[in-house]
Amino acid sequence: MFNRRLYLVISEDACKGRDLVSVATAAVKGGVDVIQLREKHLDNPAFLERALRLKEALVPFRVPLVINDNLWVAQQCCATGIHVGNSDLPPLDIRAQWPSCGILGYSIEYEKQLCTADAAAADYLALSPVFATATKTDTVTEWKLEGIRKIRAMTDKPLVAIGAIHEGNAAGVIRAGADCLAIVSAICAAPDPEKAAAAIRLQIEKAL
């Protein structure tokens, strides 16, 4: 069962020149309890090398590593799981090719996806994006708080909210029905990732 609260989506680009593993470990110390490595522009060997380095750093913290949209890398580094969108390898195919997958996440970009077998096969559903963000340029639906409330009423699946979420709006997103917040810039680009993560985690706990 997916029961995480603060989800870091990290890439080297998002870290603004800082070491990715250092940013990730600082964020974990601040309260991040699951990390997704998202490297859309790396070839498989480079992606795998980065995944292995990050996974090793997370072992002492017992924080699971999820790989974005690369089944080969996820399997090769023995990641806990994988996250896919509606233009990636579908969750049903992931289940068939990787039966031991521990966490399978699926991005929901429009309402009718919710009623598909692929959504049913996922461990959590990510509403993407909740608010428009420069890190996602192919937005189908900007869910906003009303969208979270609507989807919450339609499913018992854990909901992960992503898209321009930060300390100032985190509590409202949780109160609208999200179970977990996925953060990119508000932690990765923060001057102090540990402090930024702790501030968001505090808002989550207050809203529960």
User: Which positions are catalytic?
Assistant: 38, 107, 136
User: Does 38 carry a binding-site annotation?
Assistant: yes
**Cα three-residue angle 188-190-195, rounded to 5 degrees:** 105
User: Does 73 carry a binding-site annotation?
Assistant: no
User: Does 39 carry a binding-site annotation?
Assistant: yes
Collect all residues with Cβ–Cβ distance below 8 Å to 205 and sequence separation of at least 6: 5
User: Does 139 carry a binding-site annotation?
Assistant: no
Tokens matching residue 45: 């060997």
User: Does 128 carry a binding-site annotation?
Assistant: no
Task: For the beta carbon of residue 123, count every other beta carbon within 10 angstroms.
Answer: 17
User: Does 97 carry a binding-site annotation?
Assistant: no
Collect all residues with Cβ–Cβ distance below 8 Å to 93 and sequence separation of at least 6: none
User: Does 134 carry a binding-site annotation?
Assistant: yes
User: Does 36 carry a binding-site annotation?
Assistant: yes
User: Does 13 carry a binding-site annotation?
Assistant: no
User: Does 196 carry a binding-site annotation?
Assistant: no
d(CA 168, CA 142): 18
d(CA 158, CA 155): 8
d(CA 76, CA 133): 31
Q: Which residues are annotated as a binding site for Mg(2+)?
A: 69, 88
- Binding residues are 36-40, 68-69, 88, 107, 133-136, 164, 184-185
